[in-house]
Amino acid sequence: MNPTPFDIFVLPFTVGMSLLFAYLILKYASWIWYFDRDDKLKILRGLFSLKSLKAAKEIFLESLIHRKMFLVNKRLGYMHMSLAFGWFLLIVIGAVEGHTYMGGAAPFYFPIFFVYFVPDDESFFFARGFVQLMDAALLLVLSGVVVAIVKRFYKRIVGMKSTTQLRLRDKMVLYSLWLIFPLRLFAESATCGLHGSGGFLTGTVGSLMAATLPLEAIEYPLWWAYSIDLCLFFIGLPFSRYMHIPTEMVLIFFKNWGIRLKPDNPILEEVMVLSCPRCGVCIDRCQLNTAVGNHDTQAVYFLQRIRNSEEHSAQAKNCLMCGRCESVCPVGIDLNAIRLRHRQNFTPETFVPQYNNAEARKVDVVFFTGCMGHLVPKTKDAMVKILNASGDNYWFMDADGGVCCGRPMKLAGQTTAAEKLMAKNRQSIIDSGARTLVTSCPICYKVFREDYNLDIEILHHTEYIKRLIDSGKIKVGKLNTAVAYHDPCELGRGAGIYAEPRAVLGAVATLAPVPDECKNSLCCGGSLANLTLPSADKMRIAQQTMTSLTTNHPDVVATACPLCKKTLNRTQMAPVEDIAELVAEAMK
């Protein structure tokens, strides 16, 4: 048993670390305190269940290894992984080393400054091994720091066209973080150089330093600098973007315990906002950036404004809600839901809805084309032809028009009007006694599935048509047409329907490949979710998307959404048709 080592330079670190811990404990406690009863129960039930283990695994994969970020961008993933996982290794191996040396009674600052206190003792268990392992971990972190520094000045090094812009406060904490590991390297190397000890890294750097520098004079100040820098980083952390490190882990637990974002409870949103590491993966995904040249509405900037309590009503509105950012967010933040929550805060509820007064008919299948469906009569007529041929007993619920599903109003923040409309429509659907509801609009489809609480089957027309073809209820031939398929945001990323439209198109035409498909598909730009984007900008987005869709020179661009069809058609770059039109044409 060794005596407890101490030097006054450990104080800055100890104070900084204690303040940070105290702050975090208060913060976590306040979050849990403000959750509603339902969420608190979820925490209680989840705490000692398998869900916590699942969360721990997810933390390891996402917060340390950064698996999702690797999938999006390997170099950026490496940068985050080397910093996070390398530091994690330093802490864990250091703690094991320190406690091995002290027989399990090391004060918590001890592993951090281990090399200073134990410069050349190799008598304890695995001492040589610990030295090399610690050097390897330090090297891993340092490699990440180098990439991070280069990225700040040359972002293309990690394959990014844009990186986040920082505030002064973030910059100061960023610099203190960058300094931690070089300071540690030089402090440890100085001590090793003086004692002729150290591993492959600190030993080598140490002997080089010994040969060129007055080590006796600089060793002690280096350890002070290391401790002070750690203190600065820990104190600055809660007020900087690095708060994401302790928050993201908590978020992963919350999500695994089943806590979801609620319109009336801002706590989980606060956790999500703080969890954003500002990696900036969302920036290059955003077509408002790549096609329109907007550089302040992307998710990372929107969250930053919420966090800093800055004006963000413009950012809340200027979003297509296409979900391209959400689908790659490494932290899994519900970006669309947060955006929508903030629209409600800014949109006065003024809209008076018009109702559908059509008398419900007793049928098996209800068909709902939606307001946008009426604006593309070719699609609507094709669906009527298909429904007539199917032999199903159906009711075209909004044949005379005049009814809205409610989602456009919801997206505009008009929640009350939307709810009134939905209740009315829901009753009509229930009155019809139908077992299946078919709609040709993905916007309607999503709201029927998520908000109508209907106890019947809800199908998009691509799903319905696939079923009709599979069961032989309609017979189709193959058209001599090459088709590129455009995934509508609300149908693809929004509702996860990728396979059915492709299966139907494969049956009636030849499917041409498209560079950005499925989860990565581009947005047509016509999104109802963005009421502030000028038409010319929407056109730019549509042209970018059509350029991608026509890469392999299809005869027709097919889609499964009336809004996408209208928006893409405006570019006049290629004919755009709904899948239903192609099926109606191919029907025997």
> Helices 335-346 and 299-307: crossing angle, nearest 10°?
60
* Cβ distance to other proteins smaller for residue 381 or 431: 381
* Cβ distance to other proteins smaller for residue 235 or 529: 529
* Cβ distance to other proteins smaller for residue 326 or 581: 581
Smallest distance from the beta carbon of 388 to other proteins, in angstroms? 13
The DSSP result for 254-271, as a single string, is HHHTT---BTTB-HHHHH
Smallest distance from the beta carbon of 379 to other proteins, in angstroms? 9
Smallest distance from the beta carbon of 340 to other proteins, in angstroms? 25
Smallest distance from the beta carbon of 417 to other proteins, in angstroms? 16
Within the chain, how many helices (H) and strands (E) appear?
27, 8
* Cβ distance to other proteins smaller for residue 159 or 402: 402
Smallest distance from the beta carbon of 508 to other proteins, in angstroms? 20
* Cβ distance to other proteins smaller for residue 150 or 539: 539
The C-alpha atoms of residue 113 and residue 99 are separated, in whole angstroms, by 13
Contact, 523 vs 516, CB < 8 A? no
Beta strands per DSSP E along 73-121 = none
The C-alpha atoms of residue 58 and residue 53 are separated, in whole angstroms, by 9
* Cβ distance to other proteins smaller for residue 183 or 405: 405
Helices (H), 395-514: 407-411, 415-431, 442-451, 461-470, 499-508
Per residue, the 3-state secondary structure of 124-149, as one string, reads CCCHHHHHHHHHHHHHHHHHHHHHHH
Residue 50: count other Cβ atoms within 10 Å of its Cβ.
9
Smallest distance from the beta carbon of 358 to other proteins, in angstroms? 13
Contact, 313 vs 346, CB < 8 A? yes
Helix/strand/coil percentages in the chain, nearest 5 = 60, 5, 35
Residue numbers of the site for other proteins (CB under 8 A)?
Answer: 354, 374-378, 380-381, 401-402, 535-536, 539, 566, 569-570, 572
* Cβ distance to other proteins smaller for residue 138 or 372: 372
The C-alpha atoms of residue 13 and residue 235 are separated, in whole angstroms, by 10
Smallest distance from the beta carbon of 375 to other proteins, in angstroms? 4
Smallest distance from the beta carbon of 243 to other proteins, in angstroms? 43
* Cβ distance to other proteins smaller for residue 185 or 568: 568
Residue type, position 331, single letter = V
